[in-house]
């Protein structure tokens, strides 16, 4: 399990309590997370203490070649990243969530 959320075998979009209230989200609701023209749909997790302007998503899920135990677990969040020069950027990107 994740050491903070205790969620197992899935990734999710962490949002603050205030952000969840503003978007009328409940735990586990599916949200669309968009960075530029790239988007994914992922379950929401309401995380107390998270900054109100942050959406946090773990990468490393959504595998297609891991076999029957690992395939289809979670959502591949790598498409939301961007490349600047020779660096892959995962944070500090403008995000829309709905």
What does each C-alpha distance from 73 to 17, 52, 94 come to in angstroms? 26, 27, 26
Residue 46 DSSP label: E
pTM: 0.89
pLDDT in tens, 35-60: 999 999 999 999 999 999 999 999 98
- Output the tens digit of pLDDT for each of the chain's 98 residues: 888 888 988 899 999 999 999 999 999 999 999 999 999 999 999 999 999 999 999 998 998 888 988 888 999 999 999 999 999 999 999 999 99
Q: How high is the pLDDT of residue 88?
A: 94
Residue 78, both tokens: 């790598």
């Amino acid at each position: 399990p994740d050491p903070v959320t205790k969620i197992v075998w899935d990734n999710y979009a962490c949002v603050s309590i205030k952000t969840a209230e503003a978007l009328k989200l409940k735990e586990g609701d599916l949200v669309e997370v968009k960075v530029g023209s790239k988007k994914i749909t992922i379950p929401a997790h309401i995380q107390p203490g998270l900054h109100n302007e942050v959406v946090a998503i773990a990468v490393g899920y959504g595998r297609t070649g891991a076999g029957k135990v690992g395939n289809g677990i979670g959502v591949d969040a790598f498409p939301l990243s961007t490349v600047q020069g020779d660096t892959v950027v995962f944070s500090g990107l403008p995000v829309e969530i709905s």
